[in-house]
Amino acid sequence: MDGLRVLSLPEAEVPRELKLQVAELQESAWPSGPAGPGPTADPVHDPALRPRSLLLLSGDRVLAALDLLSKDLDHAGHRYAASGLSAVVTDPALRGRGHGRRLVAAARTAVGESGADLGLFTCDRGLLAFYESAGWAELPGAVLVGGTAEEPFPSDREGFDKVVVAAFFTERARRRRTDFPHRRIALHPGLVDRLW
Ligand SMILES: CC(C)(COP(=O)(O)OP(=O)(O)OC[C@H]1O[C@@H](n2cnc3c(N)ncnc32)[C@H](O)[C@@H]1OP(=O)(O)O)[C@@H](O)C(=O)NCCC(=O)NCCS
């Protein structure tokens, strides 16, 4: 036992002190710039995506954090309950110690236990091995289309070098896993979380 624990809560219910720590980690990874809001304890995700935060804690200190977002996905003639990871970050002072992998693996378990058919998200190509080491698998050639039908935001847009990773949980999703590689997958999570 190393005294670390994973806390899982709806984003809106994360205690303010923890949420501020998460916001600071996110701001360090994805600076909002001088005109940006800076770290705030306010929720950042679209509530329609039922955001849930997973925090790796040592006492009251946040070592690593991520958010799970969920929606229905219509793909190749079937509807799936899909969840994805967003804003995965480890405290810069504590990277390379396995905290990120541990949390990303816990997220995979959490998505499976939630009853979702599949987990599905994009990551930078350079991080694929990191996600694979936590149990996720590449969907070769797949493109995740974020945004909306009117304002699509695809993962293969100019300047991006992203891959789609997934895990199939339910029997019905496993049966149709071949519907996903080398396909455009219209996730359309909206304009707040344009690509999760
Ligand atoms: C990506 C990130 C969350 C990894 O967290 P971490 O706690 O350092 O990860 P771990 O210690 O569990 O690393 C696990 C493995 O992934 C590798 N890895 C970690 N970060 C990596 C990176 N940026 N690029 C390539 N490989 C990486 C590690 O080398 C390690 O591999 P090893 O076991 O073969 O040594 C962290 O680097 C981070 O916060 N980055 C900034 C935000 C970001 O890019 N998030 C991802 C959004 S898709």
Q: What is the CATH number of the domain that holds 172?
A: 3.40.630.30
In the reported structure, the alpha carbon of residue 92 is separated from the centroid of ligand 1 by a whole-number distance in angstroms of 10
Going residue by residue through the chain, which has 196 residues, state the pLDDT in tens, using 9 for 90 and above.
789 999 999 999 999 999 999 999 999 999 988 888 788 889 999 999 999 999 999 999 999 999 999 999 999 999 999 999 999 999 999 999 999 999 999 999 999 999 999 999 999 999 999 999 999 999 999 999 999 999 999 999 999 999 999 999 999 999 999 999 999 999 999 999 999 9
Q: Which domain holds residue 16?
A: 4-186
29 lines ligand 1 (CB under 6 A): yes
In a domain, 196, yes or no: no
Q: Whole-prediction pTM value?
A: 0.95
Instruction: State the total domains in the chain.
Output: 1
92 lines ligand 1 (CB under 6 A): no
Q: What are the φ/ψ torsions at residue 35 (nearest 5 degrees)?
A: -90, -5
Atom of ligand 1 nearest to the CA of 103: 12
In the reported structure, the alpha carbon of residue 184 is separated from the centroid of ligand 1 by a whole-number distance in angstroms of 27
In a domain, 192, yes or no: no
In a domain, 195, yes or no: no
CA 23 – CA 43 distance, rounded (Å)? 9
In a domain, 129, yes or no: yes
Nearest CA to ligand 1 atom 47: 88
In a domain, 53, yes or no: yes
- Report the candidate in 56, 179, 189 with the shortest Cα–Cα distance to residue 121: 189
89 lines ligand 1 (CB under 6 A): yes
106 lines ligand 1 (CB under 6 A): no
**Residue whose pair of structure tokens reads 């599905």 in the numeric block:** 120
In a domain, 91, yes or no: yes
122 lines ligand 1 (CB under 6 A): no
In a domain, 193, yes or no: no
- Report the candidate in 162, 146, 192 with the shortest Cα–Cα distance to residue 49: 192
CA 55 – CA 35 distance, rounded (Å)? 28
Atom of ligand 1 nearest to the CA of 102: 12
